[in-house]
Amino acid sequence: MTSGPEKRDPLSVLDRPNSYIGKIVPRPNLDRLMQGRGLYVSDIELPRMAHVVFLRSPYAHAKIIRIDASAAKCMPGVVAVVTGQELAAVITPWVGVLSHLKGLKSAPQSAIAIDRVCWQGEAVAAVVASSRSAAEDAAEHILVEYGELEAVTDMSTALDPATPVIHASLGDNLAFERNHDAGAVDQAFAGSDEVVEAEFIFGRHTGVTLEPRSVVADWNAAEARLTIYQGTQAPHMVQNIAALHLGLREAQVRVVCKDVGGSFGIKVHIYADEMATYALSKLLRRPVKFVADRVESFNTDIHARDHRCKGKIGVQRDGTITAFEIDDLTGIGPYSMYPRTSAIEANQVVNLVGGPYVTQNYRARARVVFQNKNVMCQYRAVGHPIACSVTEGLVDLAAMKIGMDPVEIRRRNLIADDAYPCASPSGLRFEQLSHHAALTKLISMMDYDALRAEQAALRTRNIHRGIGIASFIEVTNPSAAFYGVGGAKISSQDGVAVRLDAQGSVICQTSITEQGQGSESLTAQIVGSTLGISMDRVRVILGDTDNTPYGGGTWASRGAGIGGEAALQAAKVLRRNILDVAAAILQSTAGELDIVNNNVVNASDGATRIELNELARIVYFRPDTLPPGIQPELMATRHFVPREYPFAFTNGVQASWLEVDTDTGFVKLLKHWVVEDCGTIINPQLVDEQIRGGVVQGLGAALFEKCVYDERGQLTNANMADYLVPMSGEMPDIDVGHVVSPTLETELGAKGAGEAGTAGAAAAVTNAVNDALRPFGAVITEIPLTPQVILTALGRI
Amino acid sequence: MTAPITISLEVNGERVDTSVLPRLNLADFLREYLKLTGTHVGCEHGVCGACTVRVDGEIVRACLMLAVQADNASVETIEGLSDSGEIADLQAAFRDRNALQCGFCTPGMLMAAQDLLKQTSAPDREQIREHLSGNYCRCTGYQAIVDAVESTARARAGRTA
Ligand code: FES
Ligand code: FES
């Protein structure tokens, strides 16, 4: 289902014969995973490896008065019991701020709490033992005396003068505030035919990666080197941060990332317990393994999206949107996460609200406050679901107010497909988006008119179905404007090295990582296509700071767009080098030759001249037979980062079709549609499945997922039985379609697709529920849409 | 702590004699004693299905069963099912359909899917979704998995018909 403008140069490497780009090819690493023969961090065992278990605070806020570990130290198998104070001898504390987020503040955070704990689940001591069970047994014998302090839990009162300040040195509980005012907002509202306001509430939820966070840290005292095996999305970032806080040079730290059991932004951060594990290995001079159990995952993996956002929209009778205004409040726990900080999401919400629409009148305030709850930070589609739900919720409310169809109001306001390049009301620069093409495609995929007719017919039989539409913009291919400008040592460029081995196969080392998205496959597809080599002869190495070029890794939908372009450029150089050698061997010129199907051929008639295998044999084993002065370089490296646009914005639109049982409050998802534009599609199947996975994460937030805290800051549903996640029985089939507007900033033209599904799913579902409930006059602007929320809105409870 | 107990069982067709603490669960036994890493642990409380294995022909959650309960039993894990070729067609369908991303849920998913296919020759999508609804996958969105199981069922029916 691909359509839209194709603006490529017809001679581009994308159009070479036998190109794998745009084709469905199976991922090379699947058999290993399907046979249970992958290597996840939780599988790793090393000689003399010990296991660490963290004793965690039962209180949300308390002073640590005394820790008595004497009994625990005598338990069988115990290697050491280490407190925060003791660990501080090998690792320094950190502060999660970035200079471009002006005014962002946070307090120093230690690997293990020293005098005070600030959330339920913060580690107060580490027990290292010969087995995990021995460490768990011993942890029960540690006596900790706490002095409980008042906990700040409600973000809406966190800034009140009567509320205690969590970090006295910061003066108040305000971590960050951003104000934005563009156009003439007051005038626009005053001149509007209608103004609609609503407050949107988003539950705090979390990632629930199926493999919990795990790390094995191995300090080799003889080499003075630390090897960290960790399922991370950013190995070089981990290397840099671990070195910095352990007083090592980067060259003394190696990060190895094999298979990763899910990440979604959960594993792009560095957690205090991981830092503690690195430090314990150094302190105890032996490998130490930490694997979070599920309860720990719920209490310590970053949470996401705890927002309350007041929104306002102005509209004319003819449907013209005149202005948007938002006031967003979000609670981030007691610290801003390090090194990416916990203010990026609120900042993103300000950036993205109103993004698909024409109006230039936009005012926003975002405030980020501290609380005594687990830390909150960036998770898949950072800020997108909030911005999309607020924007699309307001657009639907405006449409309802003026009696216009939700599709029609969008048609009248979405930025025209020929208006680019242009800027959004918050100053974002768009290169090329395709909102109208995407909406048109969506409407035809879902057969909108037929669904509306079905809805009307069923309503007469007291069956309440709804249609929800959500347009969105998506941030992908982030440049240094994301973190680098704020001083974070998080690389935005990626590098790929490719080399022809002695049997004519290709090895590529890339700095992007694989967590199941298909990074390995897309790299092999690009390199194979560019070189004219079959994919079974391309091997990709990733996830090892000793063996890959320096780079950012895989997050914020950057793997294909940035890492893919680096692969393309490196392969082009290698191709030229191969043809130069071939020309020397064949007494021809490089311009007369080409590589197709593992052979150097005549460009003119395609006749085979020499197999790459034979060329490699000559270069590596009989270079003496080459003409004098020829030094073949069968290896090439290229790096890439976008420079012209700080982000490659993409867009898409989703629709949900569902049924609400007005007696029980249950929502049954019937069907979901997505159309998105990620530019050049490298492997349609990988893109579609990535989008479907993203949609289901968004649907989880819309209907089920919520971290429930009580007023004392206790997380009351920290297990998979009480914290509901989408399972196959509740999920609908999801149709995915594409519009293709390649970015012209790269030769490949790829933009990201990882956030699209999550970005708009909750907004589409909420709009559909409200559409279903229209006969009852109920409007809900809160997720998750639990039966309780729905029955309350219906006045049934 | 109680003393170790001697057990004797068959795992993927190989006899295993050893002694274990009574509290050791089957998942940890397979992983830590036998180094069979295919049985994954996602929740340790019976909700996610990542640890699904077959004991005497029935699928169970290895995190909810004690190793001592498997005394005298025959246990089959993803490694065994892969090596015997029993699920080669199902694995091929998963590969063709990209029915896995990170792959952490996949061993449990394949065990559960094979269980369904043994019981029901022509399950519809609803039945497949129902049968797999105890197996959590965070990556895929489930649709590709349902497709892969459905196409395997069709192919098997065609072969035996
Ligand atoms: S680990 Fe056994 S069901 Fe989750
Ligand atoms: S593929 Fe990652 S959990 Fe299923």
Question: Is the model's pLDDT at A620 over the cut of 90?
Answer: yes
Instruction: Write out residues in chain B with pLDDT < 70, as ranges.
Output: 1, 160-161
Question: Is the model's pLDDT at A2 over the cut of 90?
Answer: no
Count of positions (residues) in chain B: 161
Nearest to A208 among B1, B77, B138 (CB): B138
Residues 6+ positions from A123 with CB-CB distance below 8 Å: A54, A55, A56, A57, A84, A111, A112, A113, A272, A273, A276
- Averaged pLDDT, A597-618: 96
Question: Is the model's pLDDT at A241 over the cut of 90?
Answer: yes
Q: What are A553's two structure tokens?
A: 């890794």
Tell me, letter by letter, the H, E, C secondary structure of A474-522: EEECCCCCCCHHHCCCCCCCEEEEEEECCCCCEEEEECCCCCCCCHHHH
- Whether A258 and chain B come into contact, CB under 8 Å, resolves to no
Asked if the ipTM is above 0.90, the reply is yes
Ligand nearest to the CA of B31: 1
Q: Are A375 and A334 in contact (CB under 8 A)?
A: yes
pLDDT computed for residue A10 by the predictor: 45
Half-sphere exposure of A535 (CA within 13 A, CB side): 19
How deeply is A626 buried, as exposed, middle or buried, from its count of CB atoms within 10 A (0-12, 13-18, 19+)? middle
Closest CA to B136 of A669, A289, A704: A704
Contact A693 B130 (CB under 8 A): no
Contact residues on chain B for A32, CB-CB shorter than 8 A: 103
Portion 288-317 of A in contact with B at CB < 8 A:
293-294
Instruction: State the distance from the centre of ligand 2 to the C-alpha of A231, rounded, in angstroms.
Output: 14
* Rounded percentage of chain A residues whose pLDDT exceeds 70: 98
Instruction: State the distance from the centre of ligand 2 to the C-alpha of B93, rounded, in angstroms.
Output: 16
Contact B47 A262 (CB under 8 A): no
Q: Are B145 and B104 in contact (CB under 8 A)?
A: no
- Averaged pLDDT, A117-144: 98
- Whether B135 and chain A come into contact, CB under 8 Å, resolves to yes
pLDDT computed for residue A11 by the predictor: 53
Q: Are A549 and A236 in contact (CB under 8 A)?
A: no
Q: What are A674's two structure tokens?
A: 């997505």
Instruction: State the distance from the centre of ligand 2 to the C-alpha of A692, rounded, in angstroms.
Output: 12
- Averaged pLDDT, A425-447: 96
Instruction: State the distance from the centre of ligand 2 to the C-alpha of A742, rounded, in angstroms.
Output: 29
pLDDT computed for residue A515 by the predictor: 93
- Averaged pLDDT, A554-573: 94
Contact A693 B101 (CB under 8 A): yes
In degrees rounded to 5, what are phi and psi of residue A566? -60, -40
Q: Give dist(CA A100, CA A754) in Å, integer.
A: 25
Ligand nearest to the CA of B47: 1
Q: What are B81's two structure tokens?
A: 């099912």
Residue with tokens 């049934």: A796
Look at strands A608-611 and B5-11 and give their pairing. unpaired
Question: Is the model's pLDDT at A705 over the cut of 80?
Answer: yes
Eight-state DSSP code of residue A102: T
Instruction: State the distance from the centre of ligand 1 to the C-alpha of A295, rounded, in angstroms.
Output: 13
pLDDT computed for residue A5 by the predictor: 42
Report pLDDT digits (tens) over A116-126: 999 999 999 99
Ligand nearest to the CA of B45: 1
Closest CA to A73 of A126, A119, A122: A126
Tell me, yes or no, if the pTM score tops 0.80: yes
Q: Cis omega (within 30 of 0) on the bond before A632?
A: no
Closest CA to A369 of A117, A203, A160, A122: A160
Please work out whether the CB of residue B94 comes within 6 Å of at least one atom of ligand 2: no
Count of positions (residues) in chain A: 797
Mutate to test the pocket of ligand 1, among B25, B29, B44, B136 (most ligand atoms within 8 A of CB): B44
Q: Residue whose CA is closest, atom 3 of ligand 2?
A: B137
- Whether A722 and chain B come into contact, CB under 8 Å, resolves to no
Ligand nearest to the CA of B48: 1
Q: What are A599's two structure tokens?
A: 């052979």
pLDDT computed for residue A123 by the predictor: 98
Q: Which residues of B102-133 are buried (b: 16+ CB within 10 A; e: fewer)?
A: bbbbbbbbbbbbbbbbeeeeebeeebbbebbb
> How far, CA to CA in Å, does A520 sit from each of A254, A510, A541?
21, 9, 8
Residue from A691, A727, A731 to probe the interface with B (highest B Cβ count within 10 Å): A727
pLDDT computed for residue A488 by the predictor: 87
CA dihedral B30, B33, B34, B38 (to 10 degrees): 40
pLDDT computed for residue A760 by the predictor: 96
Report pLDDT digits (tens) over A315-366: 999 999 999 999 999 999 999 999 999 999 999 999 999 999 999 999 999 9
Q: SS3 of A745, please?
A: coil
Contact A36 B38 (CB under 8 A): yes
* Rounded percentage of chain A residues whose pLDDT exceeds 90: 93
Q: Are A85 and A114 in contact (CB under 8 A)?
A: yes
Contact A728 B37 (CB under 8 A): no
Q: SS3 of A204, please?
A: coil
Strand-pair partners of A654: A470, A674
- Averaged pLDDT, A576-584: 97
Q: Give dist(CA A278, CA A289) in Å, integer.
A: 9
Strand-pair partners of A675: A653, A737
Q: SS3 of B75, please?
A: strand
Q: Are A473 and A756 in contact (CB under 8 A)?
A: no
| Residue B109 alpha carbon, nearest atom of ligand 2 | 4
Portion 3-22 of B in contact with A at CB < 8 A:
none
Alpha-carbon gap: B147 to the closest alpha carbon of chain A (Å): 10
A574 torsion bin: left (phi>0), alpha (psi -120 to 50), beta (else):
alpha
Alpha helical stretches, state H, chain B: 26-28, 78-84, 88-97, 106-119, 125-131, 143-160
Average pLDDT, chain A: 95
Residues with a CB atom less than 6 Å from ligand 1: B 41-44, 46-51, 61, 63
Q: A with B: how many residue pairs have Cβ under 8 Å apart?
A: 176
Contact B37 A27 (CB under 8 A): no
| First CA to last CA distance, chain B | 56
- Averaged pLDDT, A195-218: 97
Q: Cis omega (within 30 of 0) on the bond before A339?
A: yes
- Amino acid identity at A234: A
Nearest to A37 among B38, B94, B144 (CB): B38
Contact A689 B110 (CB under 8 A): no
In degrees rounded to 5, what are phi and psi of residue A133? -70, -35
SS3 content of chain B, % helix, strand, coil (to 5): 40, 15, 40
Alpha-carbon gap: B68 to the closest alpha carbon of chain A (Å): 17
Residues 6+ positions from A431 with CB-CB distance below 8 Å: A420, A421, A645, A648, A649, A743, A744, A745
Q: Give dist(CA A53, CA A291) in Å, integer.
A: 8
Question: Is the model's pLDDT at A100 over the cut of 60?
Answer: yes
Report pLDDT digits (tens) over A715-753: 999 999 999 999 999 999 999 999 999 999 999 999 999
Contact residues on chain A for B144, CB-CB shorter than 8 A: 689, 692
Q: Give dist(CA A797, CA A367) in Å, integer.
A: 33
Is residue A195 within a helix (H) or strand (E), and if so which, with residue range? strand A194-202
Report pLDDT digits (tens) over A356-394: 999 999 999 999 999 999 999 999 999 999 999 999 999
Residue with tokens 């022809």: A500
Handedness of CA A234, A109, A385, A665 (dihedral sign): positive
Contact B138 A725 (CB under 8 A): yes
Q: What band does A1 get if pLDDT is binned at 50, 70 and 90?
A: very low
pLDDT computed for residue B2 by the predictor: 79
Q: Give dist(CA B134, CA B113) in Å, integer.
A: 11
- Whether B42 and chain A come into contact, CB under 8 Å, resolves to yes
Please work out whether the CB of residue B139 comes within 6 Å of at least one atom of ligand 2: yes
Eight-state DSSP code of residue A582: H
- Whether A116 and chain B come into contact, CB under 8 Å, resolves to no
In degrees rounded to 5, what are phi and psi of residue A546? -80, -20
Report pLDDT digits (tens) over A500-556: 999 999 999 999 999 999 999 999 999 999 999 999 999 999 999 999 999 999 988
Residue from B101, B129, B130 to probe the interface with A (highest A Cβ count within 10 Å): B101
